[in-house]
Amino acid sequence: MEKPIENFWSLRLADVKDALEANNFEVHIAENVDAAKKIVREVFQRIGAKSISWGGSMTYAQTGLYREFKDYPGIEVIDTYDKELPPEEKFERRRRALLVDLFITGTNAITETGKLVNLDMQGNRVAGITFGPRNVIILAGRNKVVPDIEDAMMRVKNYVAPANAMRLNMKTPCVKTSICEECRSPDRICNTWTITEKSLPKARIKIVLINENLGL
């Protein structure tokens, strides 16, 4: 068989799609990043978004969609990634981002039972997923799929959070050891857990499952 890994994940992602759809998420499968970008553009046009923003997501940045949307003409763009922003402005933009028509981000894990599991530092990403933006697109590489909630939380605490702390140059113990020590550091990035069991309203949250490894 050619491409056995892609074939394996095509089958596995189809099952995950069924589980997510049973939980009222709108789900798309993309065989690669280019296909995922096409789906996002189609959703963006279909819903007629007049405003757009995003929550922290390596996957979103890796697809190149951030570069595409950050200067998009004719709509309100709230860029929360701009590194030049003073902290107060960044904070205000993150607040305003919760009222956009389309909010794009990633997820720390997706369970085979069709649930999203996330852990945030400030909480703006999980806030947007939970309530506020009229539509949410979650971009998720196949590496985010885990069997259940327990595995998802293990994945986040044992891998995603320490690796993210390293990526963000935080002064936390996990940056030195790779192991979570449930720190009390001011730089602690693990502050709010969410488990999104279903999309309400139905299809408000649109998930693009991508048959590639992306993000952490």
Query: Footprint of ligand SF4 on this chain (CB under 6 A)?
Result: 161-162, 165, 172-174, 180-183, 185, 188-190
- Shortest approach of ligand SF4 to residue 136 CB, angstroms? 25
CB 121 within 8 A of CB 193: no
Dihedrals phi, psi of 213, to nearest 5 degrees: -85, 125
Going across the sheet that includes 116-120, the strands are 145-146, 109-111, 116-120, 192-196
Residue with smaller CB distance to ligand SF4, 130 or 185? 185
- What is the 3-state composition of the chain as percent helix, strand, coil, each rounded to the nearest 5? 45, 20, 35
* Least distance between ligand SF4 and beta carbon 191 (Å): 9
- With a CB cutoff of 8 Å and minimum separation 6, the contacts of 77 are 51, 52, 53, 69, 70, 71
Largest CA distance in the chain: 54
**The dihedral sign for the CA sequence 140, 22, 146, 167:** positive
Find the shortest distance in angstroms from Cβ 11 to ligand SF4.
Answer: 33
Neighbours of 6 (CB within 10 A): 15
Task: Please state the closest distance from residue 12 (CB atom) to ligand SF4, in A.
Answer: 28
Contact 211, 28 (CB under 8 A): no
CB of residue 161 to ligand SF4, shortest distance in Å: 4
